[in-house]
A and B are shown apart, each in its own frame.
Chain A
Amino acid sequence: MSPLLVLLLVPLGAILAIILGRFPARSTAGIAALLNLVLSLGLLWNYPAAQGGYAYVMDYPWVTMQGLPPIRFHLGADGISLPLIFLTGIVTVAAIAISPGNIRRSSEYYCYLLLMSLGAMGAFTSLDLFFFFIFHDFALIATFLLIGIWGAQNRQFASFQVTIYLMAGSLILLAGLVALVMAVPPAARTFDIVSLQGYITAHPLAVSTQNVIFPLLLVGFGILVGLFPFHSWAPPGYASAPPAAAMLHAGILKKFAIYGMIRIAIPMLHDGFESCKYVILALLLGNFLYAGFVTMAQKELPTMIGFSSVMHMGYLFLGVACWNIIGVTGAVILMVGHGLSAALLFGLSGEITHRSGENRFAELGGLAKSAPVLAVLFSFASMASMGVPGLANFAGELLVFFGSYSAVPPLIFFGVVAVYGTVITAIFQLRAIKNVFYGPMPMRFEPMPAPELVTPGAEIVPVPGMTDVSSLVEHGPYVLLILASLVIGFMPFLLIHVVEPSVSLLPFMR
C-alpha cells in the first residue's frame, strides 16, 4: 500500500460520506482537501530527490482478460508528477474554500469538485495508461456537470460545446494510446507505462508507425490543453464555468496533457516527435501571437482570463519541445506556477464578477477604492501571470527561455517570441487592472453611505455597493496561493532539485 493510494481514497471517502452519510458537504470536502494538501506536501518533502525515479510505488495486476492487454493498478510518483500532485492539493483547497456555502444543490456541487480533484490526482499518480486515461475522464465528466448546472450565463451552450470538444479530444487521445499499445508485438502488449517504456526503449517502433501515432496523441493532448488551433472551447467554457471549476480545470486538469506529452508521447514516440517538432513549434506561435492578440482585444474579464490561459500554454509547449533538461524542468515548474496564477485569476475574476455584478471592462472601474484588498490580490495574480521576478512563473519561464537557447538546434526565434509573449501578457493584465480597479468608479459601486451621514431630507438612492474580501475566510485562499507562488518564486531551487533529476532520467533527454 502506497501513500499515493491515500491521496485517492481521501476524496473518494469524502464523496461517499457526503452522498451516503449525509455529512455536511462543504466542511467534509474542505477537510478532505486539506488532508490531501498536507499529505502531498509531505510526499514532496520526503521524496528522495537526488536520485530521481519513481517512489511510493504500488503495483497490482488488475485485469487479465483474453483480448485485452494486461492492465495493472500501478501507482508511483517521481519528480515530475509530485509537483503536480502538490499543485492539485493546494488548488483544490483554494477552490473549495472560495465556493459559497449556500450554493444550491451543495452536496452535489462539492462532490463534483472532489471528483475533479480525485481525477487529477489519479491521472498524475497512475503509471498505467488505462488508469491514466480514465481518471482524467472522471474529472472531465465532473467538469461538464459543474459548468452545466452551476455555470453563469450561456451555460447550456458552453457546457455542451466543452463536452463535445473535450470528449472528441479524449477519444482521439484514446485512439492514440490504444494504437501505441497495439503497435508492439502481442506478447509485449501492456497498458503499464513503465513496462511499455522499457520495451519501446529496447525495441523502438518503426518511424512510419510513430509518425502515425504521435500526431494522434498530439491532437488529443492538444485539444485537452487548448493548443492553437484546438483552443476555441476554452475561453467561453471558462467564462461560464463556476470559478471553482475553472480554477480546477485551468489550474490542474489541463496540465494533464502537458504531463502526458512529457511522460508518454515524447519518450515513447521520439522519432514521431522529431518529425512533428516544427509543427508543434508553429502551432505554439499561434498560442503566443494569435491568442495573445485576441486576449488584448477582449472586453470582458472572464473571457480575457480564459484566453490568457490558452496563450500561456505556448510556454509549456515550448519548454517541452526543447526536450532538454533545462527546458523540460522549466515546463514542469511553469506548470505549477501557471496552475497557481490561473487559479488565482479565475477565482478573483469570479469574486469581482460576483461582488460587482458586472464583468465588462467598460462598466467597471475604480474598484480599488471600495475593494482595496481585492485590488492587491488581483495585482499579485496579474504579476504572477506576467512573469514578474519573485513569483513562480518567472522561474519557469526563465528556464524555458534558456532551454530554447540551448536546444539542439537552437530555438532562439521561438524563445524571442516567448519573451515577446510576456510583453503581451503585461499589456492585457495591466489594462485589466487599470480598467477594473482604477479610473473613475461608476456611481453604483460607491459604498453604501452610513445612515447618520445622510443629510436629512436628501433623497436616498439605494445602490448595490461593492464589498471587499474582508475576512480571513474570504481572502485566505488567495493569500495561500500567492504565498505558494512567492515561495517558489524566491526559492525555485526547492522545486528544481526535485524536478531536475527525474527529468534527466527521461529517454532521449539532452
Chain B
Amino acid sequence: MLPVSSISYLAPEILITIWAMVLLLLEAFLELSPRAVAALALAGIGVTFLITLDLDTTSTLFWGGMCKWDGAAKFFHLFFLVTAALVIWMGDEVQWPVSHGGAEFAILPLFTTAGLMLLASANDFMLLFVALELVTISFYILVAYQRRSLVALEAGVKYLILGGLSSAFLVMGVAYIFGLTGHTRFDLIWYRLHHHDLPAGVAFGLLLVLTGIGFKIAMVPFHSWAPDVYEGAPNSITAFLSVGSKAGGLIILMRIVLGVFDNPGGSAVWIPLLTIGAIASLLLGNLAAIPQRNLKRMLGYSSIGHTGFILVGIIGASVSLTGKIDFFSNDAATGQVAVTVYLVSYLLATFTCFIVLAVLERRLPGLEIHHLAGLSQRSPLLAAAFALALVSLAGVPPLSGFIAKLLVVLVAWHRGLYTLLGFVIFAAVAAFYYYLNPIKTMYWSEPLDDTPIRLNRATTGVLAVLIALLIITGFWAQSISVLVSGATLGQNSSPSSAAVALVQH
C-alpha cells in the first residue's frame, strides 16, 4: 500500500500525462519507431495500472475538494486503463498501417485516458469541464486520423461540431448552477440543495448539463453523430469512443445525478428526463440497427441501445425512488453494481467485435454484413470471436452480456420501474434479430473467396483471452462480482466546518 497522502490518488493521471509528454519528446528527438512508442506507452499503462490497483477505496476528498476518490473512481480508473491498453495495442498490432504511421496514434490515447481518469474522480464542475475537453479534443484528432479518407473527414467534422455544441450546453448549464448556488463543487452543491426545493434556474441548468452529457453517451435524441462517426473513425478509435468515451460520460452522469441531485427536487427533474432518454435510446438504437448493412454503423446503433440499458441501471440507483433520502440504501447501490457489470461485459464484447473488424478491414472488400459470408470457414477463430461477442451483446446466456442484462432487469423490477422494464425486454428481443444476422452470414453462407485468413500470434492470443473472459464472466459470474465489488460512489458526508462556513457565507 502506498502512503496515503492525497496526491497519491492523483498518481495515475500524473503518471500517464508525464509519460505521454516524455514519449512525445522521445519520439521527436530520438526518432523512435511508432511500434516502439506503442510498446513504451503500453508499458506506462501497465505500471499505472499496478499503482492504481494498489490504492484503497475509502471515500476521500482531495486536491482542495476538487477531486473525490472512492470505489467508483478506482473502478473507472482501472476500466479506462484497460480500455486504453486495448486501443493502443489495436492501433499498433492489428490495424497497422491503416493508421498511416505516426507515433501520435499511440500517444494521443494516453492524453485521452488521463482526461477520462480525471473525469472519474472529478468533484467540481470546473475540473469536470477541463477533463472533458481534454478527452474531447484528443478525440477530434483521433477520429479524423485517416485524413485522406473522406468518410473519416466527415466523421471528424461531425464529431467536432457536435462535440463543441455539447460542451457549450454543458458550460451553459454549469453557469446556471453556479449562478444560483454559488458553488461548483459537487459536495457543496449537494449540501446546499439537499434540504431545499430546487430553484427553477438550477433545474434548467441541470437540463442543459444532461444535454451535454447526453451527447457524450450517445443518448437519444443526442445520438445522431454516433453512427456516422463510428463508421468513419479507425476501428480502434471507434472502440475507444464506444467504450471509453461512453463510460466517461456515464461516470460523470452518475456523479452528477446520483451524487448531487438525488434529492426530491432534483430527481423530479432528472428521473423523467433520463427515463425518456432511456426509452428513446432503447427503441431507436435497437430498431434502427435492424436495417443497417454496414457492421460499424450497426454497432453504432447498438451502442445507442446499450446506453439505454445502462441508463435504466442509473435510474434504478436513485435513492429518491424509495423515498429514502441522503443515504445510499442497499437497493440503490444495486443499480450501480448493474451499471459497472454492464460496462465490463460491454467492454469485453465491444473490443472483441472491433478487433475482429480491424483484422477484416484489410482482408475483405468492405465491412458490410454480406462480406462476412462463410467467414467461419476462412478463419474459425475470427468467426467464433465475432459470433460470441455479438451473442453476448444480445444477452444470450451463458455469456457475460446475459448477466449484465439480467441485473438491469432485476434492478428495474426491484425498484418498481415497470414501464422501463417493458421497454428493456422489448429492446432485448428486438436486438436478437440484428445480432443474429451477421452470425447467420458467417456460419451459413458459403464464402466467395475461401482463402484462409491467418492471424498472428498476438492477435490470436488476445482474441482467445477475450473469448474466455466473455464465457467465464457469464458462466461464473462470481468473477465479475469480484471486479466490481465496492465500485460504488462514495456517500456524501456533511462538509467540514470550513466548507460549511463557506456555504453559509
The residues of A with any CB-CB pair to B shorter than 8 Å are 62-68, 71, 105, 133-134, 137-138, 141, 145, 148-149, 155-156, 159-160, 163-164, 167-168, 171, 175, 178, 182
Contact = CB atoms under 8 A, between A and B. Distances in A.
Contacts of A64: 478, 481
A155 B444 contact: yes
A133 B341 CA distance: 21
A138 B398 contact: yes
B444 A182 contact: no
A68 B406 contact: yes
A68 B473 CA distance: 14
B445 to A, nearest CB: 8
Interface residues of B, number: 37
Given A164-B433, A178-B406, A178-B410, A141 B396 contact: yes
A63 B400 CA distance: 13
A182 B413 contact: yes
Contacts of B377: 105
B478 A175 contact: no
Contact of B337 (A67, A155, A178): A67
B265 interface: no
19 contacts: A63-B476, A66-B333, A66-B334, A67-B334, A67-B407, A68-B406, A71-B477, A105-B377, A133-B397, A134-B402, A137-B396, A141-B391, A145-B443, A148-B440, A149-B443, A160-B436, A163-B436, A171-B429, A178-B410
A114 B410 CA distance: 33
B396 A66 contact: no
B423 interface: no
Leading 10 A-B pairs by shortest Cβ distance: A67-B334, A65-B481, A134-B397, A148-B444, A134-B398, A63-B477, A63-B478, A66-B337, A137-B397, A67-B337
B411 interface: yes
B111 to A, nearest CB: 35
Given A168-B429, A171-B429, A67 B443 contact: no
Contacts of A133: 397
> In the complex, which of the residues B333, B335, B432, B485 has the most CB atoms of chain A within 10 Å of its own CB atom?
B432
A67 B404 CA distance: 11
Given A137-B397, A155-B444, A167 B478 contact: no
Interface of B: 330, 333-335, 337-338, 341, 377, 391, 396-398, 402-403, 406-407, 409-411, 413-414, 425, 428-429, 432-433, 436, 440, 443-444, 475-478, 480-481, 485
A155 B445 CA distance: 11
A12 to B, nearest CB: 12
B432 A164 contact: yes
A434 B411 CA distance: 60
A65 B483 CA distance: 11
A120 to B, nearest CB: 15
Contacts of B403: 68
A171 B406 contact: no
Contacts of B411: 67
A178 B407 CA distance: 11
Contacts of A182: 410, 413-414
A156 B429 CA distance: 20
Given A134-B398, A160-B440, A68 B425 contact: no
Nearest to B334: A67
> In the complex, which of the residues A67, A149, A155 has the most CB atoms of chain B within 10 Å of its own CB atom?
A67
Contacts of B428: 171
Contacts of B337: 65-67
Contacts of B485: 66
A503 to B, nearest CB: 30
Contact of B477 (A65, A148, A155): A65
Nearest to A182: B413
Contacts of A65: 337, 341, 407, 477-478, 480-481
Contact of A67 (B396, B410, B444): B410
Given A67-B335, A137-B398, A149-B443, 7 more contacts: A67-B337, A67-B414, A71-B477, A137-B396, A164-B433, A168-B429, A178-B406
Contacts of A71: 477
Contacts of A167: 396, 432
Given A63-B477, A71-B477, A159 B432 contact: no
Nearest to A67: B334
B316 to A, nearest CB: 9
Contacts of B477: 63, 65, 68, 71
B72 to A, nearest CB: 14
> In the complex, which of the residues A68, A71, A175, A182 has the most CB atoms of chain B within 10 Å of its own CB atom?
A68
Contacts of B397: 133-134, 137
B440 A156 contact: yes
Nearest to B436: A163
Contacts of B476: 62-63
B205 to A, nearest CB: 32
Nearest to A159: B444
A175 B424 CA distance: 12
A208 to B, nearest CB: 16
B416 to A, nearest CB: 12
Nearest to A66: B337
B473 to A, nearest CB: 11
Contacts of B398: 134, 137-138
A144 to B, nearest CB: 9
A62 B478 CA distance: 7
